[in-house]
Structure 1
Amino acid sequence: MHGMTSADPELADHRILADTLTAERPLHALVNALHGISAAPVAVIDLRGGVLVSVPARTEWPAEELVAASPPTGDVVADCVLRPVELEGEPVAVLCARGQDVPPALFSFAATLAGIELSRRHAVLSGRRELLGQILEDVIAGQSSEQETARRLGEHGLDAGKAHEVVIGSVACPPRRLRSYPWNLHTLLSQQHDPHLRAIVDDRVVLVVPEGAGLFVARLCHDHLSSLGSDARVGVSKARVGVRGLRLGYFEARNALAEGYGVHVHRIQDLATALLIAGIEAGLPLRDLAAEALAPLLEYDQKHGTALVDTLRRYLAEDGAPAATATALFVHRNTLRNRLRLIEELTGRDIDSPSSRTHFWLATTCWELGSTADLSSLLDGRGPQ
């Protein structure tokens, strides 16, 4: 019978820690086992100062001071020893133990196991985000039916029948870092979906959030991206309903993103600007943008049975000539004058300014073209079929 060696207890302790990865809550089991072996209070703290796991649970930790020492140098900080917990080579948390009773080799092994568990959970969420990214790309390109896309989005927890805002973030960093950054370790540990739908599209972070949450989430997104690069920028769309609303929201957020560094919210877009974007942005929903530009007139026509949109279209077709327009519409010139004044009041635009003429011509033309409205059909001068 072989005698017991000093390495045997150490090997047994390593096995105890390794076995925790098969537990229902591996990270909690790991910290609990390390505490059981050493009797020292143990915790995992993310780099934002959030205590992810602590045993005993009521232990107070100087989280900010401990995180400030990350990545740990091996020195004792606030009577705690530290080890970095890494995810794909990037420190994302700190393993802490109070006192110096944990064997260094065992402590380092525990930090490695913690990183393995976070990597496993992150891989699961990354797979979900890849699938969501494919769905969002289909939404942007308009390649799937609204019903089918709504069903696929529903599988990811998004009800397309409710209003949502789109948030897009961009930063100059290697795509691998953008895709691997976990953002929310609590999400990893809870083994649930992201609190908001998040995917990577064209090397940009795209989030779909409930109405009213866009600006708050955008600021959090900017904070996260700023840790990856100094040129972080985030754009936020208006709140919109449905699959088409998400599509338009994506382009609104992209437009806001182009305003520069920091966080920017979509502003009402001039259709001439949209046309320039359409020249380089495939799939820009010009008809949806036209509907937004004409919304005050469309709503008024629907409510009062008027024909303001038709009046505007004919006025532009007659090159702004009141007499010719009135004749074409079979109305008195005073009636036409009242309609034009109402159009200006509802839209807030001077109908005879050159920029407004361009804006309104694009809006009415794209509206007539319907779902076929794109840059080529607009320039070809094709009317409604």
Structure 2
Amino acid sequence: MTCVRAYRELLELLADGADGTELAKLAATRAAGLPPDEGAEWKAATEAALSVRRTLLEHQRRETELSALVDTANDLARLRDPEAVLQQIVHWVRMLLGVDVSYLSMNDSTGGQTYMRVTEGSVSALFQQLSLGIGEGLGGLVAQSGLPYATPDYLADPRFKHTITIDTAVRDEGLVSIVGVPLMLGRRVIGVLYAADRAARTYSPEEVAFLSSLADLAAISIDNAHLLAETRRANSSIRRAEEVHDQLTALVLRGADFHSVAAAVAQVLGGGIVLHDAAGVELACLGMSVAPPAQAIARAQASGRAVAQGDIWVCAVLAGPELLGSLVLTGRASLTDEDRLLFERAAQVTALLLLLRRSVAQAEEQVRGELLTDLLTAPDRNPGALIARGRRLGVNLAAPHSVLIAHADGVSRGRLAAAATGQAALVGVHAEQVVLLTPDGDPDKMAHALTTAVGCPVTVGAAGPATGPVELAAAHAEAGRCLRALQALGLDGTGASLSGLGFVGVLLGDRADVAGFAQRTLGPVLDYDARRGTELVRTLRTYFSCGSSLTATKDVLHVHVNTVVQRLDRIASLLGPDWNSPDRALEIQLALRVLTISR
């Protein structure tokens, strides 16, 4: 009965929240004067009650710690700034453990040091700026081993590698007892969380375990805050890239040229920009002109990313798998991820510009090709309509134009026509030939220009100038004959007209325009005779038939020798002083023979 009464009374005291002293006092009072066996029962009951009380206190402590951890987690979850997260962590450590100072150090990226990041309760600037080598002091040992360490008297503890710098800072802060636990992400130590007092204190295993729990929570919060900050930075970079993309796209859709787009990209990235097409032709340049290496373009095309090549950056301009060209960024040896993304977005907009230009060029090429085909196949069907169509394309077919036909063995007709586009009023492919209409009728100059543009010999036959659809169609036929004459003579890479080739052109050109040859050769003399009623043509014919003898000529013509001389002087003024040279004399005699036969 005594045992039951003892347990009941002790349990009632426990229920009322009595402490160990009150329990012991009750047991001593009740056991006084009792027989030994009953006194032993009170003693056993008291020990059981005290054990229950310790268990309850431990549960209360754990409940308090768990509640504190939950509160800490809730507070940290609301924070977005990494610095605020760190500051809140040390605040909770100081408050929950009741220490004088709490602080946190972070390992650097190289893993060679752990440096003070935030403190709470610290008064020493020297301590707040402390940096520890891995393995140095208590914090360095925790960072190195990944294990918690505690000491009631740091400066006197031989377990740690003391340094003048660390010990001086600890003395300046007035710290005596220190406990440090690792901040772990997986198996990696990212820093150390500390609690410290300015008086001797032995930290219990429960306190170290609680600090470790806070450290685990802190490590996750730090990592989450960093991930959130990185996500924000990435989102900010994406938003900026989208804004720049929209600005550049709007610029392209407003009709900006290559130079304007390159200038906008250069301004955004703060460097020079060079744009090349797929053939390596420079389309725009802001800053230093640099041709991108082929291997850099290939790497950029394969990866779809901008790549570094020495001190420049190269980005392939792509439309799906098709390479349209390349962008080169100069003056920026290194790029942030954000600027690299901007550079890649600029390449996408440049692809849009190149595709638009190509579409416009293809449409215009088709329209011009249709005009050229109609002009050369049916010039007399509706000349007025042809002239009107030409005017809409910026070509005045009513004005004199030379007709040129270009040919190159090593280049496709499409590429040759593209190279000639900027050098003639109208360019197209007709009857498997590249045909050009140009006010400037210098075929040799055109041949050299096209040869340079395509990198292989280009031969150009020319005719004209001619005015109106009918004459232009006839000139096209003559230009074709001239081209064949040049090819027969092996004059690849040159340009000429039939008049420039002289009688050789007449001989080699099929369906030769012999009447035209005679007119071109003797035209001034024929016109003079027609206007003045003179006999210069007869004098020329007689002079050559008499072996260029003045005496024989005057006898046949029945005139004085001085008259023959005067007539020949007039001929020289009309045909040029070299009219009697062997080559010119041969052409003149052929022209005279053509006149004789045709009459």
Structure-2-length-normalised TM-score: 0.42
Q: 1:207 aligns to what?
A: 436
| 8 Å contact from structure 2 (residues 406, 461) kept in 1 | no
Q: Secondary structure at the match of 2:450?
A: helix
Matched, 1:23 2:254: yes
Matched, 1:96 2:328: yes
Q: 2:315 aligns to what?
A: 83
Alignment equivalent of 1:299, drawn from 509, 514, 527: 527
Question: In structure 2, do the counterparts of structure 1 residues 109 and 127 end up closer, same or farther at CA, with 3 Å as the change threshold?
Answer: same
| 8 Å contact from structure 1 (residues 235, 255) kept in 2 | no
Q: Secondary structure at the match of 2:297?
A: coil
Alignment of 1:188-337 (within 5 A): 196-211=425-440, 215-226=444-455, 230=456, 232-235=457-460, 237=462, 240-243=465-468, 244=471, 247-248=474-475, 250-251=479-480, 254=483, 257-258=486-487, 259=489, 260-266=491-497, 267-270=499-502, 273-274=505-506, 277-279=509-511, 287-306=515-534, 333-334=557-558
Per-residue deviation at 1:135?
4.9
Q: Secondary structure at the match of 2:519?
A: helix
| RMSD after superposition | 5.1
Matched, 1:170 2:407: yes
CA distance in 2 between counterparts of 1:271 and 1:88 reads 56
Q: 2:376 aligns to what?
A: 137
CA distance in 1 between counterparts of 2:355 and 2:271 reads 23
Q: Secondary structure at the match of 1:240?
A: strand
| 8 Å contact from structure 1 (residues 166, 253) kept in 2 | no
| 8 Å contact from structure 1 (residues 43, 95) kept in 2 | yes
CA deviation vs aligned residue, 1:58-103 (integer Å, no higher than 9, x gap) = x42x31x325658724453463322345799996753223433322
| 8 Å contact from structure 2 (residues 451, 493) kept in 1 | yes
Asked which structure has the greater CA Rg, the reply is 2
Q: Considering fraction of residues, name the structure with more helix.
A: 2
CA deviation vs aligned residue, 1:92-132 (integer Å, no higher than 9, x gap) = 75322343332275355334323312312322331343134
Alignment of 1:140-159 (within 5 A): 143=380, 153-159=390-396
Q: Secondary structure at the match of 1:262?
A: coil
Q: Secondary structure at the match of 2:509?
A: helix
CA distance in 2 between counterparts of 1:109 and 1:261 reads 42
Question: In structure 2, do the counterparts of structure 1 residues 290 and 68 end up closer, same or farther at CA, with 3 Å as the change threshold?
Answer: farther
Question: In structure 2, do the counterparts of structure 1 residues 124 and 270 end up closer, same or farther at CA, with 3 Å as the change threshold?
Answer: same
One-letter identity of the residue aligned with 1:302: A
Question: In structure 2, do the counterparts of structure 1 residues 312 and 240 end up closer, same or farther at CA, with 3 Å as the change threshold?
Answer: farther
Question: In structure 2, do the counterparts of structure 1 residues 314 and 215 end up closer, same or farther at CA, with 3 Å as the change threshold?
Answer: closer
CA distance in 2 between counterparts of 1:221 and 1:212 reads 14
Question: In structure 2, do the counterparts of structure 1 residues 285 and 216 end up closer, same or farther at CA, with 3 Å as the change threshold?
Answer: same
Per-residue deviation at 1:223?
1.0
CA distance in 1 between counterparts of 2:267 and 2:311 reads 19
Per-residue deviation at 1:301?
1.8
CA distance in 2 between counterparts of 1:105 and 1:255 reads 50
Q: Secondary structure at the match of 2:308?
A: coil
| 8 Å contact from structure 1 (residues 167, 253) kept in 2 | no
- Residue ranges of structure 1 left out of the alignment (5+ in a row): 188-193, 322-331, 369-385
Question: In structure 2, do the counterparts of structure 1 residues 314 and 197 end up closer, same or farther at CA, with 3 Å as the change threshold?
Answer: same
CA distance in 2 between counterparts of 1:150 and 1:333 reads 52
One-letter identity of the residue aligned with 1:169: A
| 8 Å contact from structure 2 (residues 482, 509) kept in 1 | no
| 8 Å contact from structure 2 (residues 536, 571) kept in 1 | no
Relative contact order (alpha carbons < 8 A, sep ≥ 6): 1 or 2 greater? 1
Q: Secondary structure at the match of 2:528?
A: helix
One-letter identity of the residue aligned with 2:256: R
Alignment equivalent of 1:125, drawn from 364, 374, 382: 364
| 8 Å contact from structure 1 (residues 290, 362) kept in 2 | yes
Per-residue deviation at 1:170?
1.2
Question: In structure 2, do the counterparts of structure 1 residues 197 and 174 end up closer, same or farther at CA, with 3 Å as the change threshold?
Answer: closer
Q: 1:373 aligns to what?
A: none
Structure-1-length-normalised TM-score: 0.60
| 8 Å contact from structure 2 (residues 376, 472) kept in 1 | no
| 8 Å contact from structure 1 (residues 199, 205) kept in 2 | yes
Question: In structure 2, do the counterparts of structure 1 residues 68 and 26 end up closer, same or farther at CA, with 3 Å as the change threshold?
Answer: same
CA distance in 2 between counterparts of 1:88 and 1:126 reads 24
